[in-house]
Structure 1
Amino acid sequence: MIQRIQTLFLLLAAAAGGGLFLPLPLARTPQPQPGGLFSDGLLTVTDDVLLSVLLGLGGGLAFAAIFLFRNRPLQIRLTGLAFLVGLAGLGLGLYHFFTQGQAAAAEPALGLALPVLFAVLCLLAIRFIRKDEELVRSMDRLR
């Protein structure tokens, strides 16, 4: 389980999904904006419940996929679902950034890179899980 590269990618993706709940802002404004997501001058994951649920679910799915190494087709599907959920979270974060951040002159922050990193790591994990599955199928043909 641990000796496979896709396990490392899934573990890093789960860490990136969980790292979004650290006090890393997705965007920041020079002045706090009253009555909105930028009321403290920062847009964080915990400012929006749906954003928190989507990114938390994506990280949880990536972590759960680590333990499905015996069932690679299910592992691929679960990692793909984690990718889609993480992409939806990224889209929602960008939506908030462009709609509410426009009026507040918001600037992107370091936290906006974590959902992108999460998506890339999920895609890399899917690629290497597929390679493993192809290797196992080719060995089955030789028997």
Structure 2
Amino acid sequence: MIQRIQTIYMGVCLILSGVLPFFVSLWTDANGLVTFAKDSILYLSLFGIISLLALVSILNYKKRQLQFVLNRLNIILNFILLGFFVYRTLSLSGETEISEKGIGIFLPTISIVLLVLANRAIKKDEDLVKSVDRLR
């Protein structure tokens, strides 16, 4: 059913990765230039794929195993995006002191936590269905 708690978790992940990167900054460099996700095709495409996977996972509410696998794939993509953010932060010389990090860098971390909570709820539902089938 679509009104379960994992749908709420995945919906918040969808909002975090599909809407917020356009409104919150990723970082501000030493020149005062504010960078958003729409400024880089790499970040924009990764945020788009993550939000698309969250939407597909929400719409497959009848197939819990597929939902579980899609969420794991989404977690991996969030780790990749987080790795690109960390690489960008640490690769430029003096970048850790000069630029100001925005809240957008932490969006993949929040998405990972929400997707792990969604997978835990999906696993709980799957265990409940299996236990009911055993009683028949």
Matches within 5 A, 1:5-24: 5-24=5-24
Output the TM-score relative to the length of structure 2.
Answer: 0.89
Counterpart check, 1:46 vs 2:43: no
- Mark the CA change 1:57 to 1:101 in structure 2 (over 3 Å): closer, same or farther: farther
For 2:78, the equivalent position in structure 1 comes to 86
Matches within 5 A, 1:34-73: 41-73=33-65
Q: CA deviation at 1:7?
A: 0.4
Q: Say what the alpha-carbon RMSD is for the aligned residues.
A: 1.7
What CA distance in whole angstroms lies between the structure 2 residues aligned with 1:101 and 1:51? 21
What CA distance in whole angstroms lies between the structure 2 residues aligned with 1:101 and 1:27? 15
Unaligned runs of 5+ in 2: none
Counterpart check, 1:96 vs 2:54: no
Runs of 4 or more consecutive aligned structure 1 residues displaced over 6 Å after TM superposition: none
What CA distance in whole angstroms lies between the structure 1 residues aligned with 2:93 and 2:72? 30
Bigger drift between 107-116 and 66-75 goes to 107-116
For 2:123, the equivalent position in structure 1 comes to 130
Bigger drift between 44-53 and 96-105 goes to 96-105
Helix, strand or coil: the match of 2:23?
Answer: coil
Q: CA deviation at 1:30?
A: 4.2
Output the TM-score relative to the length of structure 1.
Answer: 0.85
What CA distance in whole angstroms lies between the structure 1 residues aligned with 2:135 and 2:65? 21
- Contact between 1:68 and 1:75, CA under 8 Å: does it hold in 2? yes
Counterpart check, 1:106 vs 2:99: yes
Q: Which amino acid aligns with 1:128?
A: A
- Contact between 1:58 and 1:85, CA under 8 Å: does it hold in 2? yes
Q: CA deviation at 1:18?
A: 0.8
Unaligned runs of 5+ in 1: 33-40
Helix, strand or coil: the match of 1:54?
Answer: helix
- Contact between 1:28 and 1:43, CA under 8 Å: does it hold in 2? yes
Helix, strand or coil: the match of 1:119?
Answer: helix
The count of corresponding residues between Structure 1 and Structure 2 is 135
> Where is the helix percentage greater, Structure 1 or Structure 2?
2
- Contact between 1:21 and 1:45, CA under 8 Å: does it hold in 2? yes
Helix, strand or coil: the match of 1:21?
Answer: helix
For 1:118, the equivalent position in structure 2 comes to 111
- Contact between 1:51 and 1:93, CA under 8 Å: does it hold in 2? no
